[in-house]
Amino acid sequence: MAKARLDGKVIVVGVTGGVAAFKAAHLVTGLRKLGAEVHVVMTAGATQFVAALTFRALSQHPVVVDMWDPHSPYDEAHVALGERASLYVIAPATAHTLAKLALGLADDAVSATALATRAPVVVAPAMADSMYEHPTTQDHLQSLRRRGVHITGPVVGWLASGKEAVGRMAEPEAIIDEICAILEAR
């Protein structure tokens, strides 16, 4: 049997509260099909769009929403998963999350894991075009790029507002291609 592209890799997927959160389910599935061990961390807002149970079923691992959940299998989930990660991907990455990452804030499982990991980080922005194009969002993206964070997307496409504009999260397949390219280059 041929070795899958991501055999032996641990990918942590951060899911934030945007309409594109449903695409993260396809991302998790695609990563697992390539042999990756996948763990999911979510913001509370993300659970308003997709249930943690969905990601538990798809990843076959407990999902972290609350950093201090007494039933978590980890003492400090954000640190444990951050240290284990071969790569950390945040998809979708909302404007709020991008701001927190750029400023080094760590008040939820997604942003705290970003600070705890030394693995490559990929973010896949998804938001309304007006939010994406705002100078503050662009400043935050530039700050993240300077620190070596890989930005995938957004792309022009159909948005939740009904407009076709920039702000649509990159497709899971494109994000997976970026992840594979980063890990294969290491």
Q: What is the pLDDT of residue 22?
A: 96
Number of domains in the chain: 1
* Residue range 108-116: mean pLDDT, rounded: 97
Residue 41 lies in a domain: yes
Q: What is the pLDDT of residue 3?
A: 66
Domain membership of residue 5 (yes or no) is no
Q: What is the pLDDT of residues 29-55, one digit of tens each?
A: 999 999 999 999 999 999 999 999 999
Q: Is residue 72 part of a domain?
A: yes
pTM equals 0.96
Q: What is the pLDDT of residue 131?
A: 97
Is 122 inside any structural domain?
A: yes
Residue 168 pLDDT more than 50? yes
Condensed to tens digits (0 to 9), the pLDDT of residues 13-24 reads: 999 999 999 999
Domain limits for position 137: 10-185
Which CATH number is 69's domain given? 3.40.50.1950
Integer CA distances (angstroms), 145 to 106, 132, 142, 148, 163, in order = 19, 15, 5, 5, 28
